[in-house]
Amino acid sequence: MKKNIWHIQRAQSSINSTFLIRGGRVIDPANKIDKIADVLIVDGKIAAVEENITFDAQETFDATGKVVTPGLIDMHVHFREPGQEAKEDFESGSRAAVAGGFTTVATMPNTSPVVDNSALVRSMIKRAEDVGLINIKIIGAVTKNQNGQELAELFDMIDAGVVAFSDDGHFDDNAKIFMNALDYLQPTGKIIICHEEETSLVKEGVMNEGKRSAILGLKGRPTVAEDIAVARDALLAEYTGGRVHIAHMSSARSVEIVRDAKKRGVKITAEVTPQHLTMTDDLVDPSDTSTKINPPLRTQKDCDALLEGLKDGTIDAIVTDHSPHAPEEKDREYIYAPSGFPGLETSLGILLTDLYHKNKIDLPTLISKMTYEPAKIFGLDAGNLTIGAPADITIIDTERAWTVDAEKFYTRGSHSPFVGRNLKGRAVATIVHGNLMRLL
């Protein structure tokens, strides 16, 4: 039985309420704020960010010694609705998000059925409003059933409320179809999030192709498969004027390709996961399927290039690629187990422990990549503490020591390579629309 460690309530806009967060280090990259200050919330919206606010609020939170940021944003999660609720649903997924400090997430469309029509988008938005504890955004498929052969109802889905499009889990091999999608979406400004692996080069591969895969006798997925795909989509974005966003980058060469494309003015952005920033294929153990992810863990050279790309602005956002599976699916031989693991509850802790506390990245940059920058890319009303903005806030204790325990996860997934890790730093309170959800 999993132990509940959060007091979580249904997030609803607070009416006629006041809430004051006192004395924290407020980091708001959108407004270039990094100082000790108070944050006043009135009726679920930011009312003031100032030093020594004098206000008799109905509720207060002493954030002395803690960091106060805009609510964390994750634009790449798999909540498995519809059709795969045994792995995760909007309710369990949003609880995991709250526990990890996230106030806004976007769900990928590779569900059953695939999210490729407006009716399904509308039903999912309604479902998210009914049961979600956070802001759940919907991403629609680029092609019908994600089969890469025929474009989905792109404009209808925009009218229904999607924030972006993706055939995540699949590379769109048909360049003509993909180019048509970029052409059609170019006037709308909507982004296509691209899963980048040249299919013919990764068939049956289960880990990075290299020395480690040879030692283990496992078929590999080479970095060049990602590089070729990224290069193609960068060129198509340049040709059409459309917007592409490179999902879960893992290759050093891909970082160079995106960097060069940005210098040419191509409308291209990119994301990276904590696992691809901090883990290598040396950690792959055929007896532990939690390390099987897609794209696979690469080399230290790739990790270093990804971190440099994150710091110099080549990579715009950090995501979790939260991908829970049923235990019986992951408890199989490595070659047969599905790729992915739940990441919402461990992401911040891993980044603080392995990057911030080791002086590999500063805190304002890290927070920007998890708040302001993804919000800016996808046009979200989130990721900032501007006066009048929704009061979605994360309070972080960067010194909080804790151990990753799958029995305490809110997600329905349990297979994580981080289980048992001693971490330093985590979210201690998540505020959604002015409602406080506190770590006990």
- Assess whether 28 carries a catalytic annotation: no
Q: What is the mean pLDDT of the chain?
A: 95
What pTM was computed for the model? 0.96
Segment 351-362 mean pLDDT: 98
Q: What is the DSSP letter of 421?
A: -
For residue 5, what pLDDT is reported? 47
According to CATH, the topology of domain 71-378 is TIM Barrel (3.20.20)
Polymer length in residues for the chain: 440
Which superfamily is assigned to 18-68+390-439 in CATH? Urease, subunit C, domain 1 (2.30.40.10)
Domain boundaries, the chain: 18-68+390-439, 71-378
Identify the burial level of 28 via C-beta atoms within 10 angstroms of its C-beta, where 0-12 means exposed, 13-18 middle and 19 or more buried.
buried
Catalytic residue among 28, 321, 354, 397: 321
Residue 143 has pLDDT above 90, yes or no: yes
Are 221 and 245 spatial neighbours (Cβ–Cβ below 8 Å)? no
Q: Region 233-241: what's the mean pLDDT?
A: 98
Bridge partners (DSSP) of residue 21 are: 39, 61
Which CA distances in Å does 320 have to 77, 274, 317, 435?
7, 7, 10, 24
- In this predicted structure, what is the pLDDT of residue 217? 97
Q: What is the mean pLDDT of residues 127-146?
A: 96
**List of residues 6+ apart from 215 with CB closer than 8 A:** none
